[in-house]
Amino acid sequence: MPTSVTNLALLGFCILQVMSLLVPQANARAFLVFGDSLVDNGNNDFLATTARADNYPYGIDFPTHRPTGRFSNGLNIPDLISEHLGQESPMPYLSPMLKKDKLLRGANFASAGIGILNDTGIQFLNIIRITKQLEYFEQYKVRVSGLVGEEEMNRLVNGALVLITLGGNDFVNNYYLVPFSARSRQFSLPDYVVFIISEYRKVLRKMYDLGARRVLVTGTGPMGCVPAELAQRSRNGECATELQRAASLFNPQLVQMITDLNNEVGSSAFIAANTQQMHMDFISDPQAYGFVTSKVACCGQGPYNGIGLCTPLSNLCPNRDLFAFWDPFHPSEKASRIIAQQILNGSPEYMHPMNLSTILTVDSMT
């Protein structure tokens, strides 16, 4: 008899232990990431696509010193936000390792090459377009419900921090991809911006309808200043005028759309991150931030190391911390740290209506 009691007690203890693993800790917060290569942390490694970062020297400064699918020499912005939250970075949604307690910490749905529009990045073939990322989000909710029940799932999703980064590819890999592209024949630039902002609004509203209540929305960076565009469009190292014009049209309209959407839903659900200004700070004055250059990529070839992809045969700088750009399109880990710091603590010029530190403080009191 005592043995059976002991066994029952042991079984009860084991069940409690398993349940404690499956119910998110009170101070933990799920982190959900959507978007393109600026925030992809490996989904495309599971897909038949050319938009991959699975070769050396990608990941050279990552803790494992191996490529992870991040378009960085090391950590990217979701990693750095997770670092601040004191949590592991959410895993790629397509990873077979994403299950049980890892699923409750969130997921990264991002996929390099995608845009707001489904015809953006068609040259990359098999990528997870934003409509599909939202389908995966719905699937994620079902999987979490299966672990902790629907009520707890809704609490987890409503309380999650969400990051979405879209827009740059709709210009670089669509409107300006080739001369006389289909979209540039269909729309003047101002009309195209109005169109993609209206499409982006639908995406954000769908996220809200699926339960997202704290969404960081980054604008595009200064697209005309990346090494890839300098190599193709710049004569003397000045930023490419047309792409800078596109960014200067898109970003203010994004902020206005977010303000309107917040008014519509009656809360500050959406937060606009002025990543254009965050980048321009160190692009305009790289030395002030410890960089030797903001024009030449660390890894690449051709003018400004801006031609083609970063491969094992590319030029590679010995000290990545001295370069604002890691490859022809993406910031180095050090530059990403500067951006992440502004997301956390930036003034209203950078974060509207509030920065992430304020969000975390406000949410901790509710």
Residue 257's domain is classified under what CATH number? 3.40.50.1110
Q: How far is it, in rounded angstroms, from Cα 342 to Cα 84?
A: 12
Residue 93 in domain = yes
Residue 75 in domain = yes
Each residue's pLDDT tens digit in the chain (366 positions)?
444 444 444 444 444 344 434 444 445 799 999 999 999 999 999 999 999 999 999 999 999 999 999 999 999 999 999 999 999 999 999 999 999 999 999 999 999 999 999 999 999 999 999 999 999 999 999 999 999 999 999 999 999 999 999 999 999 999 999 999 999 999 999 999 999 999 999 999 999 999 999 999 999 999 999 999 999 999 899 999 999 999 999 999 999 999 999 999 999 999 999 999 999 999 999 999 999 999 999 999 999 999 999 999 999 999 999 999 999 999 999 999 999 999 999 999 999 999 999 999 999 988
What is the pTM assigned to this prediction?
0.92
Size of the chain in residues: 366
b/e 203-237 (16+ beta carbons within 10 angstroms → b): bbeebbeebbbbbbbbbbbbbbbbbbbbbbbbeee
Structure tokens belonging to residue 53: 């970062």
pLDDT in the model for residue 366: 80
Annotated catalytic residue, options 36, 37, 82, 268: 37
pLDDT in the model for residue 23: 42
Q: Residues 194, 196, 200, 201: is their CA dihedral positive or negative?
A: positive
Domain containing residue 116: 31-365
pLDDT in the model for residue 268: 96
327 tagged catalytic: yes
84 tagged catalytic: no
Residue 9 in domain = no
Annotated catalytic residue, options 45, 327, 332, 336: 327
Domain count within the chain: 1
Closest CA to 91 of 145, 140, 138: 140
Residue 12 in domain = no
pLDDT in the model for residue 220: 97
Q: What is the 3-state secondary structure (H, E, C) of 263-295?
A: HHHCCCCEEEECHHHHHHHHHHCHHHHCCCECC
CB hemisphere CA count around 92 (13 angstroms): 21
Residue 180 in domain = yes
Residue 118 in domain = yes
364 tagged catalytic: no
pLDDT in the model for residue 28: 79
Residue 126 in domain = yes
Annotated catalytic residue, options 40, 294, 330, 352: 330
Cα-based distances in Å from 189 to 195, 217, 331:
10, 22, 26
Residue 11 in domain = no
